[in-house]
Structure 1
């Protein structure tokens, strides 16, 4: 039966072994090391139901109408604060756009009194929040649950059904910028821990850390970057048992009896490429056939004419995902099982992409998005500088230097046509080493012209390589997976947690040295149906309640675990 009949991922967000160490170093196994995933057969650990701590169940606490309405008020308080991360934010003391973060911190203190009473709060680099409650057994490594405070800007409030910072609740959805990404996680985490700490008889055996960055949407260097340094100094490399942040994919029900859930165990790489075109301007009454904007338009067309190829890599998370489907849903995945047996990765890739759609494609393909174009200062003066920003999320079969060099190749005919000089990534040693290692026929020939009509300057920014793969076996994964199976259990069915690839990037890239067990998963059935980063972002509050219950149970299960 074809994969389409599995409703794969409906509703979302041969390879070189080289994976360079991401920010902060890493302890996970790099993709391509066969030992990391050899003999994977998708064994499931036992379901892990919290017990023995005298606490009420999450189901009893978070399933009532009163609990829902209480949670709506909590989430509204957080969503109403416009903590927007702009790419051009200045210093904390000079840019007034940071002011809402102070308001958010005051709001959190009022909303979560037990957290502020019983946990130690460290403010890192002004706006980073790190809450800690020490466990009674210092030999147990802490668990670290993360989210971020910031949201992306709103382009035009008039296009929204409900104002983006009103946090309107319609009885099912709570609407607002950040209601899903990622204040959804922030509110749920604090609410779960507030519930635990409101019980005076509960104290943790294992240290619990909550940490919230404030510039994840701007790559996280001020927030999570500094929080990572703070936690490294306190706990050391590999000093934390588990790190859980936002991410993952929506659930997948196969047949009537098998539910697959997809915490992300690795992230694709990331690089922003900036192209600045410098040309001669002049009066618009005597225009050139193509102004700088026209030339840049041709460059954009050239880039968008070249897309990257998807590829299911042997022993990658996506490959293992398909192994799980073949094992637990054999009647619905006969094609998958056959291709796995034949080791036909090419056809497996085609099947996965054709039947999984855009979301599946971009799990295994480098993405390219033209996001920013700037040029021109006056309506009657031709532009002298035109700038372009292109966002890439780099799949592990590619590399950042490869992506950079491809741009040089793809625009070469335009460079020749308009007699431009090119300054490509000057001083970027990894790029220069990559080009030096290419065969001569794969390099772009240097030009000998001296009478250039303009200059194209290319530079790479915000770089991070694909992360290594976190384990999907062993005692830490067993507690994590067992809790997922418990939280999403349904009568007559089986729940199968499966590690997958994260299309985007999270604050965890700044935490990789702290633990080999780094997972990116928002424990929600509706992940991806919520218009993140666009008009009418919203979150289903019944799904949000599941998140609160899951975090509550996860803390309890890890607190009882000896691993």
Structure 2
């Protein structure tokens, strides 16, 4: 169990497309080659930053009482009760009634946080996107941006839930409901923290504070965060924001005498590949050796038989994270500490792969066949078969490499049956890449004329994101706030970079700042049921998150020169 817990803390590195570790694929019986590390990283921690010098009430005083908990439950319930669902097939705003709940979200926010709506400038972007601006007194300082999203995923069957998914039932400890964690926890927490700050009529931030709330993050965020980002780039310019904080990461996990805070400093890439096979049909009483579904099944088997190679990149976030753990929790998993000290990155990667099947996806491109359709009649061979495959691309790979592999493996199957392949037509970058790749010449061996064509295309592609720094003044304030908020007696709080297997609205904000962090400030075990039945959050954990947001704004607003070795202008 200690190994499981430790490896759950692991993150993944980025650095663009890199050569694969010289190794065989998982499951082949051969271990990846090990190689030594020359990393000089020592995992020194920034000091905890206590914002009390600003004279405001402490976060503990404001958000620890029974009264404050009850108030926060009511605030959170009001938002969770709104069924602001993002469906993949949502139409135009003025034609699809499923958008209507988002107007209710706006009304709830205005009613619940009157001071924010009185003192902040609110702009509604592309109808439902919300951008709040609390103008700072010093325009030379770059703003900070706190992000969350208003939308939630659909509920498959409300009857399977313990409590109705939009009742926001509070049992005295847990608040149940769709979106109670993802991501109305962040939305409620951010708005509550800022409401408290602005409730002091004499308080005005030195640094501008931006609150950006998209409305279609669960549908890739193009209409929400995408539109908000366009406005922000025009207003502040590229790299015009000091720090961006959105949901994500692995929260906080304890290991021995250390508590690891795990913000994601990078997102894996994303691409959806679609294969559409067109073949002649016929009566099922005289079938071909393989129907179109049978042929597509062979392609699926070929793809799944060729998974991608796991790799830990030297001096990247996952490597640094494991170095932190070897320093602050050396006895938890002696084998891991030994591998870290020996610089054996291949051995560390294999340790993760061997520990549990899903841990490999922190350091490996994932491949999931999620959609298949074909056939209209039980006595007629299908003529069109469609398959959708979702990839989350690790930094050692690229979308182009994924495209090439899909086409190569698919062609190795269908070419035997004389079926033509039309792969990624109109994608010049792919065909330029393909020209440099090794091509296989395969001859048809089938006696049946399938008269077929396999069309392969991609949608929604984005390569792995750049890595946000885990050192320097912005990180020091962010990590220092974490260390202050979650400090505990005789223990060490260790902020360490983490990976994001999924994607967030930050994919649209990357040009605004190099300091993009994805982190929901909550401990493991304080929430359950993300994207499934019985989603819920323990409100005690939610209160800690509110305290963090409150102190984070204060610390970025403070005069820090001399305390952490730099002036606010460096931010």
TM-score for both structures, normalised by structure 2: 0.89
Partner of 1:25: none
Structure 2 CA distance, aligned partners of 1:514 and 1:226? Answer: 13
Whole-Å Cα distance in 2 between the matches of residues 13 and 338 of structure 1? 20
Check the 8 A contact 1:74/1:187 in 2, yes or no: yes
Alignment match, 1:361: 360
Tell me the residue number matched to 1:371.
370
The match for 1:315 is: 315
| Aligned counterpart, 1:26 | none
Q: Which moved more, 1:527-536 or 1:100-109?
A: 527-536
State the Cα RMSD in Å.
Answer: 2.6
- Are the equivalent residues in 2 in contact too, given 1:13–1:527 (CA < 8 A)? no
**Local SS of the residue matching 1:88:** coil
* Compared CA separation, residues 3 and 39, structure 1 to 2 (3 A): farther
Alpha-carbon distance in 2 for matches of 1:390, 1:62 = 45
1:269-288 CA distance string (max 9 Å, x none):
11011111222334556655
CA distance in 1, matches of 2:5, 2:528: 22
- Which of these residues, 532, 535, 556, is aligned with residue 534 of structure 1? 532
Secondary structure at the aligned position of 1:370 is classed as strand
Native 8 Å contact 2:12 2:499 kept in 1:
no
Q: Indicate yes or no: 2:134 matched with 1:138.
A: no
Assess if the C-alpha contact under 8 Å between 2:6 and 2:333 holds in 1.
no
Tell me the equivalent position of 1:514: 512
Q: 1:378 to 1:457 in 2, by over 3 A?
A: same
After TM superposition, give the deviation of residue 383 of structure 1 in Å: 3.4
User: For structure 1, which segment, 162-171 or 223-232, has the greater mean C-alpha deviation from structure 2 after superposition?
Assistant: 162-171
Q: Distance in 2 between matches of 1:243 and 1:213?
A: 14
Equivalent in the alignment of 2:456? 458
Corresponding residue of 2:88: 87
Query: Displacement, 1:323?
Result: 1.1
1:363-406 deviations in whole A, cap 9, x for unaligned?
11111122222334455654332222111110011111111121
Distance in 2 separating the partners of 1:98 and 1:379: 38
Bigger mean CA offset, 263-272 vs 424-433: 424-433
Counterpart for residue 52 of structure 1: 53
> Hey, what does 2:399 align to over in structure 1?
400
d(CA) in 2 for partners of 1:192, 1:43: 30
Task: Please name the residue that 2:340 is paired with.
Answer: 340
**Residue of structure 1 in register with 2:73 after alignment:** 72
Q: Tell me how far apart the structure 1 counterparts of residues 490 and 231 of structure 2 sit (CA, whole Å).
A: 46
Give the secondary structure class of the aligned counterpart of 2:273. Answer: strand
The answer on whether the counterparts of 1:268 and 1:393 sit within 8 Å (CA) in structure 2 is yes
Which ranges in structure 1 are unaligned for 5 or more consecutive residues? 20-36
Q: Pick closer, same or farther for the CA change 1:359–1:189 going to 2, 3 Å.
A: farther
**3-state SS of 1:233 partner:** helix
Which secondary structure does the structure 1 equivalent of 2:53 belong to?
Answer: coil
**Higher mean C-alpha displacement, 118-127 vs 168-177:** 168-177
Instruction: Report the equivalent of 2:213.
Output: 212
- Looking at structure 1, the residues matched to 303 and 515 of structure 2 have their Cα atoms a distance apart, in angstroms, of 37
- 1:392-471 paired onto structure 2 within 5 Å: 392-438=391-437, 442-445=438-441, 452-471=450-469
2-structure distance, mates of 1:47, 1:150:
34
CA distance in 2, matches of 1:194, 1:15: 37
CA spacing shift, 1:388–1:489, aligned 2, 3 Å: same
2:99 and 2:462 map into 1 onto residues whose CA distance is 26
Whether the 8 Å CA contact 2:12–2:317 is kept in 1: the answer is: no
Q: Deviations over 1:65-106 (max 9, x none)?
A: 222222122112111212221222211112222111112111
Using a 3 Å threshold, how does the CA distance of structure 1 residues 168 and 283 change in structure 2: closer, same or farther?
Answer: farther
Q: Structure 2 vs 1, CA of residues 284 and 69 (structure 1 numbering), >3 Å: closer, same or farther?
A: farther
Q: Is the 1:309–1:365 Cα contact (8 Å) retained in structure 2?
A: yes
1 CA distance for matches of 2:108 and 2:16? 47
Q: In the TM superposition, what whole-angstrom CA distance separates every residue of 1:148-193 from its partner, at most 9, and x where no partner exists? A: 1111222222222222222222222222222111111111111111
- Aligned residue in 1 for 2:475: 477
Query: CA–CA distance in 1 between the matches of 2:9 and 2:513?
Result: 31
For the 8 Å contact 1:13–1:503, the answer to whether it is kept is: no
Distance 1:359 1:464 in 2: 22
CA shift at 1:292, angstroms? 3.1
- What SS does the corresponding residue of 1:544 show, helix, strand or coil? helix
- Would the alpha carbon gap of residues 61 and 82 (structure 1) be closer, same or farther in structure 2, given more than 3 Å must change? same
Deviation at 1:528, TM superposition (A): 8.8
Q: Which residue of 2 aligns with 1:28?
A: none
* CA deviation after TM superposition for structure 1 residue 61, in Å: 1.2
- How far apart in 1 are the matches of 2:510 and 2:189? 23
Q: Deviations over 1:224-266 (max 9, x none)?
A: 11111110011111111110001111423222x1111111111
Change in 2 beyond 3 A, CA 1:235/1:89: same
Q: Post-superposition shift, 1:510?
A: 0.8
TM-score between both structures, scaled by the size of structure 1:
0.90
Task: Give 1:444 deviation, angstroms.
Answer: 3.5
Count of equivalent residues: 540
SS of the residue 1:432 aligns to: helix
Alpha-carbon offset, residue 452 of structure 1: 4.4
After superposition, what is the alpha-carbon deviation per residue over 1:489-541, rounded to whole angstroms, capped at 9, x for unaligned? Answer: 00111101001211111111111111111101001103795221222222221
The answer on whether the counterparts of 1:3 and 1:351 sit within 8 Å (CA) in structure 2 is no
CA contact (8 A) 2:146 2:245 kept: yes
* Structure 1 position 417, deviation (Å): 4.7
- Which structure 2 residues correspond to residues 86-125 of structure 1 after superposition, within 5 A? 86-125=87-126
Write the distance in 2 (CA, Å) between the matches of 1:462 and 1:468.
Answer: 18
Does the Cα contact within 8 Å between 2:261 and 2:493 map onto a contact in 1?
Answer: yes
Distance 1:63 1:134, change over 3 A: same
Q: Which runs of 5+ in 2 are unaligned?
A: 19-37, 561-567
8 Å CA contact 1:249, 1:527 repeated in 2: no
Q: Distance in 1 between matches of 2:134 and 2:309?
A: 47
Contact 1:11–1:250 (8 Å) recurs in 2 = no
Secondary structure in structure 1 of the residue aligned to 2:270: strand
Contact kept, 8 Å, 2:416 with 2:442, in 1: the verdict is no
Query: What is the aligned partner in structure 1 of residue 168 from structure 2?
Result: 167
CA distance in 2, matches of 1:337, 1:248: 23
Matches within 5 A, 1:547-558: 547-558=545-556
